[in-house]
Amino acid sequence: MSLLYATHARVHLGNIRDNLRAIRAAVGPERKVLVAVKANGYGHGAVEVSRMAEATGTADWLGVATVPEGLQLREAGLRLPILKLGPTFPWEMRAAIEAGLTLAICSREEAEALAAAVAEANRPASVHLKVDTGMGRIGVSPAEAPELARLIVGLPGVVLEGVFTHLPVSDAADVTYTREQILRFRITAGLVQEAAGRRLLVHCANSGAVLGHDSAWLDMVRPGIMVYGFRPDPETPATIPLKPGMSLLTRVSFVKKVARGTSIGYGRTWVAPVDTNVATIPAGYADGFNRLFSNRGRVLIGGRSYPVVGRVCMDQSMVDLGPETDVKVGDEVVLMGPSGELVIPCEEWAARLGTITYEVTCQVNPRVVRIYDPY
Ligand SMILES: Cc1ncc(COP(=O)(O)O)c(C=O)c1O
C-alpha cells in the first residue's frame, strides 16, 4: 500500500491511544473524556481515531464542528455520544437530531428553533448550554445563562444535559485570566443547574487546561491537540507525557548531478554554489508541504538532514544532497517524524511556518493517504 502512495501520512493510532490513556490517568476515572475529532481528527482521520477510541474505551464522547462531521461518524457506525461544539443553523437541526447528535445551544432563538425541529422529527434531542465566559466567540452571557436554561427545560423533547464554556488562554504561562474564567464558569454552572433543577455535565477543559489547570477538569475534559501528541503552545506545562500521532513520508523520485551555477525550480531562487546532487520528491504544497518551506525547509533521508532548495512546487520539491551521496530513487524521505537518530517534529514545522501545530496537521491534504498503524 505505502509503495503505491509515495507521499503518505503514517498515523500512529497506538500513540494516540496512549495519549488518551495518559489523559484518563491524570484526570481520574470519575471524569469523562471528550476527544475533539473535528476537522478530520485534526487531520489524522476522524473515523479511525474515533473507532480506536470507542474500541479501546479511551474516550466517552466525540466532539465535532459541523453536522456533516457528526453524520460521517454515525454512518461509520460510531455509537459514542457526539457533541457538536458550535451553534447549529435551523435547517441543519433535523438531520442532527435524526443522527442523535448532541447540540450546543447558544441562544434563545436557537433553542426555540430546535424545539420546532424536535416536533417535526418526532424525536427528542439532548443539548449542552454554551456560555461565553471570556472567549468572545459564541455562547450566552453568564448573566443570561440561568434564564436560557430555564427556557430549555420547559421545551418539550429538548433535554438539557450539560453546560460548557471555552478557554482562550489556558495554554499560556500567565494563568490569571484562565483562573478567573474558571471561577466565573463554576459559579455560572451552579446557577444554571439551579435554574434547570438538575445536575448537568459541566465541562470547559481544552488541552491547555488539561495540562495546566486542574480546577477546570470538572465533570468532563475536552482535549484535542494533546490527543494527537502536541502541547497547544510551547509555554504550556508538559505535565502529561505525549507521543506524536502522525509522521509524513515520501520517497525520492529523481536524482541528478547539478553543476555549480545551475538554477533549481520556479523563479530560479536557488543556484547551486558548488557541483552537487539534487533529489526531487513527489510532495508539494498541494500535499501540505507548505510553500513557505521554499529554501527554508528540510527533510530526512536515511537518518541525515538535507535542505529544501528552490521553491516548493504544487506536487514536487527539491533537496540538496551535497557533492557526495548514495541517495537513490525510491529511498524513504521523512518530511515530519523520526529517521535514524534524527527527528523533524511537528513543532519545528509550526515554528518555521509561523503557525501552530494544529494548522500543520490540519493542512495535510486529502490527497495524502493516511496509513494507520495497528493499536
Ligand atoms: C469548544 C472546544 N472544545 C475543545 C477543543 C479542543 O481544544 P484543544 O485542541 O486546544 O485541546 C476545541 C478546539 O478548538 C473547541 O473548540
The CATH number assigned to the domain holding 142 equals 3.20.20.10
> Is ligand 1 within 6 A of the CB of residue 206?
yes
Residue 18 domain-assigned? yes
Helix (H) or strand (E) holding 51: helix 46-56
Instruction: Give the residue whose CA is nearest to atom 14 of ligand 1.
Output: 224
**Predicted pLDDT of residue 278:** 98
The reported pTM is: 0.97
Residues 104 and 137 in one domain: yes
**What is the share, in percent, of the chain residues with pLDDT greater than 70?**
99
- CB distance 287 to 7 below 8 Å: yes
Q: Which domain holds residue 190?
A: 13-228
Question: % helix / strand / coil in the chain, to the nearest 5?
Answer: 35, 25, 40
Residues 223 and 251 in one domain: no
**Predicted pLDDT of residue 186:** 98
Tell me the average pLDDT across 324-341.
98
Residues 204 and 256 in one domain: no
> Is ligand 1 within 6 A of the CB of residue 139?
no
Rounded to 10 degrees, the C-alpha dihedral 104/110/116/118 comes to 0
Residues 173 and 76 in one domain: yes
Local confidence band at 190 (pLDDT 50, 70, 90 cut-offs): very high
Residue 197 domain-assigned? yes
Instruction: Tell me how many domains the chain contains.
Output: 2
Instruction: Give the residue whose CA is nearest to atom 16 of ligand 1.
Output: 85
The CA distance from 356 to 28, in Å, is: 29
C-alpha 145 – ligand 1 centre gap (Å): 21
Residue 1 pLDDT > 60: no
The CA distance from 318 to 255, in Å, is: 9
Q: Is 125 helix (H, G, I), strand (E, B) or coil?
A: strand
Tell me the average pLDDT across 260-288.
98
Residues 112 and 220 in one domain: yes
Q: Which residues are catalytic?
A: 38, 266
Residues 194 and 275 in one domain: no
Tell me the average pLDDT across 281-298.
98
Tell me the average pLDDT across 248-277.
98
**Predicted pLDDT of residue 2:** 62
* Closest ligand 1 atom number to CA of residue 36: 6
Question: What's CA 88's distance to the chain center, in Å?
Answer: 21
Instruction: Give the residue whose CA is nearest to atom 9 of ligand 1.
Output: 224
C-alpha 357 – ligand 1 centre gap (Å): 13
C-alpha 279 – ligand 1 centre gap (Å): 39
